[in-house]
Amino acid sequence: MNALEQISKSSMKENVPELNVGDTVKVHVRIQEGDKSRIQVFEGTIIAKKHGGISETFTVRRVAHGVGIERVFPVHSPAVDKVEIVRRGVVRRAKLYYLRGRVGKAAKVKGLVR
């Protein structure tokens, strides 16, 4: 195992929840403002997952005040404090980019019935 693989293994998080496309999540992000830091919560639907390993990312979309907001979060970033799964979604696509063109109830993702 070379040095790069050791560094990437040591900086990966162990307790990452199983995130799937279509899930509604709350992402707790640590924001640094000067010498103070605070936690900001970003809630939305996961519309994409990319890469793997240390460089794995997921894209979360929400609509606030009629404007769509998308943020890309690295899974193993120290800035991402925790990820809470609010509800599971059932989708048949790997990327939900079609939600960008939908408004209101048409932009909802079906939930998992248990």
108 in a structural domain? no
Residue 14 CB partners (closer than 8 Å, separation 6+): none
89 in a structural domain? yes
Q: Is the pLDDT of residue 62 over 80?
A: yes
80 in a structural domain? yes
Phi/psi of residue 108, nearest 5 degrees? -80, 155
More confident residue, 7 or 65: 65
Residues 78-98 pLDDT 10s: 999 999 999 999 999 999 999
109 in a structural domain? no
107 in a structural domain? no
Total structural domains in the chain? 1
114 in a structural domain? no
Instruction: Write out the residue range of the structural domain in which residue 51 sits.
Output: 3-101
pLDDT band of 53, cuts 50, 70, 90: confident
